[in-house]
Amino acid sequence: MEPSFVTGARDVPLLDVTIGRALGDAARRWPDRDALVAPWGCDEAPVRWSWAELDRRAETVAAGLLALGLAPGDRIGMWSLNTAEWALVQFAAAKAGLILVTVNPAYRVVELDYALNKVGCAALVLGPPFKGSDYLGMLRELAPELDGAAPGALAAPRLPALRLVVAFGTAAPGTVPFDAVAGFATPETAAAVAALAGTIRPEDDANIQFTSGTTGTPKGVTLTHRNILNNGYFVGRAMRLAPEDRICIPVPLYHCFGMVMGNLASVTHGAAMVYPGRGFDPLATLRTAAEERCTALYGVPTMFIAALDHPDFAAFDLSRLRTGIMAGSPCPIAVMRKVVERMHLSGLTICYGMTETSPVSFQSAIDDPLERRVSTIGRVHPHLDVKIVDPEGRVLPRGEAGELCTRGYAVMRGYWGEPERTAAVLDAEGWMHTGDLATVDAEGFGNVVGRIKDLIIRGGENVSPREVEDYLYRHPDVQDVAVFGVADPRYGEEVCAWIRPRPGSGLTPEAVRAFCTGRIAHQKVPRYVELVDSFPMTVTGKMQKFLMRDTMERRLGLAAAATA
């Protein structure tokens, strides 16, 4: 049988430019077209910048950051939700040769302490409070010296590398207002930015993203200009983006979904970046997509579900939508079909990947048959190789499930300062071991069937949570569902389902089990069914199943048996 080893097309060459150079190219090619429509700071009124304006602003902010004492190679943290400042810092950092550290807006003091010190951030840009997150207040807990510091001269024992704090939407002693940064630029630092355009290499580090693993401390995934700029470019090519397109981006910018698949797909194709608001809101997303005449829409499945279920959904004209991306977590087939039919997204694509691969390695094409788009993750991206292997590393035949491994330009440089953890996932031949269980069929379409660690093993039988979830989504009263394993003294693990029912449906756990019994294999029928109002989620919309499992095991008094 044919092996599960697939190679992406090589007919279109990789881009050999930096992110800063790509923005300059966009400004020359499409100077007057909309580049960015986004809220400014705490002001919900959006700015509207052309590519020429965005490039000019990014260059002056880059020069201002250098004048404030930063130097190429320094790490600059960005701690905010989606605003115009976020995009401006992303491109300014690239032009100044700084490494952008994307800080999760959901972080609290302990996580901020870890992230800033792990990579030695010399600067931090932070935004105004949002829904209980007081970013400046949390930073003050770590660095009370900020109030007495001269701007750009912070000396805090708990954050020894941090010198510069830039704030927007809020004012405080010891910080530099974001609006003032460009004013620090001098002719000398402006000339330095211009000179850096010729010395920063595509192979240089551009971004550090912290992964949110379920165990251990977060890892700082280090990505180069070549990694993420090309990934954004090929994501855009798969959607056939053009300067006439306008992408509605409600997904977080701190994540690759927003800053790579959104911003960098835009800059390499001239499409406008449109942010509906600082945080995700289904009504604001629908309104923005309609009013801004967006042609593309991004989201994780839960975002699309929230938009489709909004009571005012029918009031918005979404007829200009044609494409977009559903990604970030497994995409339920039933949800995908509804999005294609009700939101006019006939060219919606599915993406699969991970932060360590910049992130996308598989994507469906807009002209793939609908049945393939709703039931697979598409085919391998250009300039990448993928193989499916067994536990001994042997390539499996097509159709058999094993670990998905990726190799090529998109694979990260490594985890910042952690060679041992890097070596545990990135082998000597350059293969990134994803930890995902997947198959590749005869036509090269991939399908993720679960996580190696998430696989439920009930009495020696493997149960894929994704398979059970897909079945439960067929129930008309099920709005959203998460399936996971919990400890069981007899079988080792049992199947548990958390279900968010449709409002007013009257769904019961007994009805759920009856829906499954006799229709799916007995070991897949959930023993435990919990009806919930919401799921614990990351800010990127990923369900945190480990928290659900912990909650259920505590409630039921269950504990995993010790194993060898």
Stretch 76-81: mean pLDDT, rounded? 97
Q: Hunting for tokens 């536990």 — which residue is that?
A: 391
The rounded distance, in Å, linking the Cα atoms of 252 and 133 is 15
Answer whether residue 330 shows pLDDT above 80: no
pLDDT the model gives residue 104? 87
Number of Cβ within 10 Å of residue 317's Cβ equals 12
Stretch 481-497: mean pLDDT, rounded? 90
337-to-291, 308, 328, 374, 421 alpha-carbon distances in Å: 24, 12, 17, 7, 39
pTM of this prediction? 0.86
Number of Cβ within 10 Å of residue 371's Cβ equals 10
pLDDT the model gives residue 561? 45
Of 96-100, 449-453, 547-551, minimum mean pLDDT range: 449-453
Helix (H) or strand (E) holding 376: none
Tell me: the pLDDT tens digits for 222-273? 999 999 999 999 999 999 999 999 999 999 999 999 999 999 999 999 999 9
Specify the higher pLDDT residue, 268 or 391.
268
Among the listed residues 477, 524, 523, 519, the one whose alpha carbon sits nearest the alpha carbon of residue 501: 477
Residue 378 · residue 354 · CB < 8 Å: no
Topology of 275-451 in CATH?
A: Rossmann fold (3.40.50)
Q: Is 163 helix (H, G, I), strand (E, B) or coil?
A: coil
Is the peptide bond preceding residue 359 cis, with omega within 30 degrees of 0? Answer: yes
pLDDT the model gives residue 384? 98
pLDDT the model gives residue 522? 82
Confidence class for position 309, pLDDT limits 50, 70, 90: very high
Topology of 456-556 in CATH?
A: GMP Synthetase; Chain A, domain 3 (3.30.300)
**One-character DSSP codes across 418-464:** -HHHHHHHB-TTS-EEEEEEEEE-TTS-EEEEEETTT-EEETTEEE-
> Residue type for 132, please?
G
Confidence class for position 110, pLDDT limits 50, 70, 90: confident
187 CB-contact burial (10 Å; exposed 0-12 / middle 13-18 / buried 19+)? exposed
Tell me: the pLDDT tens digits for 287-305? 999 999 999 999 988 899 8
Supply the Cα-derived Rg of the chain in whole angstroms. 24
Span(s) in the chain for CATH 3.40.50.980: 20-200
Tell me: the pLDDT tens digits for 179-189? 999 999 999 99
The rounded distance, in Å, linking the Cα atoms of 119 and 197 is 24
Percent of the chain with pLDDT over 90: 80
Answer whether residue 418 shows pLDDT above 70: yes
Q: Is 488 helix (H, G, I), strand (E, B) or coil?
A: strand
Confidence class for position 102, pLDDT limits 50, 70, 90: very high
pLDDT the model gives residue 301? 85
Span(s) in the chain for CATH 3.30.300.30: 456-556
Mean per-residue pLDDT over the chain, rounded: 93
The rounded distance, in Å, linking the Cα atoms of 469 and 463 is 11
The rounded distance, in Å, linking the Cα atoms of 352 and 363 is 6
Span(s) in the chain for CATH 3.40.50.12780: 275-451
Answer whether residue 501 shows pLDDT above 60: yes
> Residue type for 26, please?
A
pLDDT the model gives residue 563? 26
Tell me: the pLDDT tens digits for 438-455? 999 999 999 988 778 787
Confidence class for position 460, pLDDT limits 50, 70, 90: low
For residue 259, the number of C-alpha atoms closer than 13 Å in the C-beta half-sphere is 35
Q: H helices within 30-75, ranges in order?
A: 51-67
166-to-83, 97, 111, 281, 551 alpha-carbon distances in Å: 15, 18, 19, 27, 39
414-to-65, 78, 411 alpha-carbon distances in Å: 27, 20, 8
Among the listed residues 387, 405, 407, the one whose alpha carbon sits nearest the alpha carbon of residue 396: 387
Residue 108 · residue 116 · CB < 8 Å: no
No. of helices (H) and no. of strands (E), the chain: 18, 27
Stretch 53-70: mean pLDDT, rounded? 98
Tell me: the pLDDT tens digits for 168-220? 988 899 999 999 999 999 999 999 999 999 999 999 999 999 986 444 578 99
Q: Which long-range contacts (CB under 8 A, 24 or more apart) does 502-507 make?
A: 502/476, 502/477, 502/478, 505/476, 505/477, 506/477, 507/475, 507/477, 507/478, 507/531
Longest dimension (CA), the chain: 75
Among the listed residues 444, 440, 464, the one whose alpha carbon sits nearest the alpha carbon of residue 452: 464
Among the listed residues 226, 234, 538, the one whose alpha carbon sits nearest the alpha carbon of residue 361: 234
Answer whether residue 542 shows pLDDT above 90: no
| Assigned CATH class of 20-200 | alpha beta
Determine phi and psi for 62, rounding to 5 degrees: -60, -45
**One-character DSSP codes across 499-553:** EEEPTT----HHHHHHHHBTTB-GGGS-SEEEE-S---B-TTS-B-HHHHHHHHH
Answer whether residue 357 shows pLDDT above 90: yes
Among the listed residues 130, 78, 37, 132, the one whose alpha carbon sits nearest the alpha carbon of residue 253: 78
Specify the higher pLDDT residue, 90 or 542.
90
The rounded distance, in Å, linking the Cα atoms of 143 and 138 is 9
Q: Hunting for tokens 């999005």 — which residue is that?
A: 339
